[in-house]
Amino acid sequence: MTIVRSLARPLLASGFVAAGVERLRNADQTGEQLAPSLRLLGKSMPSAAGLADNPAAVARVLGATQLGAAGLLGLGKFSRLAGVVLAATTGINTFVEYRNADATTAEGRKDRRNQLLKNLSLIGGVLLAAVDTNGRPGLAWRAEHLVSDTGRSVRAMGKDAGRRSRQVTKQTKKQLAKADRAVRNAASDIAGS
C-alpha cells in the first residue's frame, strides 16, 4: 500500500467511524429521523413495510454497518466492498438528513445545502475507494488478458502443430522414397539373378 493510501483511507474512514458510533449511541433519536422515510419506503415497497415498525433497530443496523465498513476501509481490508457499503449507507443518511433538515429559514436552507454537498463529497470519496485496485489489475482486466493470452497460445499451438505436421510429412516422403529405392534395387537384383 502506498503512503497516500496508508494515510487517505483512515482519514476518509474516520468520519464514518464517528458517524457510525453516534448512530449506535443515539439509535432512538436516529430512528425518529428515519421513521418518515421508512414509512415512505413501506408504502412504495410492501415487503419493506416491517422496517417502519422498529426504526431504532434500523438505525442500529445502519450504524453498525457504517462502523464496520469504515473500519475495514481504514485498515485497507476489503476496501472496495467497504467503499460500496459506505456509499450506500451515506446515501441513505443523506436522504434522511436532507428531508429532516430545517428549510424554513434562509440559514436553515444554507445549512441543509452545505450538509448535502458535504455528504455528496463523502459519497464521491468512498466511490473512488471502491474502484481503487491498489495498483493491481482488476478482475475485468485480468479476464480480458486471460482471453487474449489464451487466444495467442492457441494460435501458437496451431502454428506449431502445422509445422510439425509438415516435418512429419517431409520425413515420411523421404522414408517412402528410400523404401521405394530399396524395393527397386531388390527387384533388379532378383531379376538379374
Regarding predicted confidence, which is higher, 129 or 141? 129
> What pTM was computed for the model?
0.62
Q: How many Å apart are CA 68 and CA 75, to the nearest integer?
A: 11
Residue 50: predicted pLDDT: 63
Asked if pLDDT for residue 1 goes beyond 60, the answer is no
Confidence of residue 149 (pLDDT cuts 50, 70, 90): confident
- Other beta carbons within 10 angstroms of residue 3's beta carbon come to 7
Grid cell of 129 as nine digits: 475507494
Burial of 66 by CB count in 10 Å (0-12 exposed, 13-18 middle, 19+ buried)? buried
* Nearest C-alpha neighbor of 36 from the set 15, 55, 22, 14: 55
* Nearest C-alpha neighbor of 36 from the set 95, 90, 79, 106: 95
Q: CB of 29 within 8 A of CB of 23?
A: no
Q: Give per-residue pLDDT as tens, 98-134.
A: 877 777 888 888 888 888 888 888 888 888 887 876 6
Residue 69: predicted pLDDT: 92
Q: Give per-residue pLDDT as tens, 50-75.
A: 666 777 888 888 889 989 999 988 88
* Nearest C-alpha neighbor of 16 from the set 51, 50, 65: 65
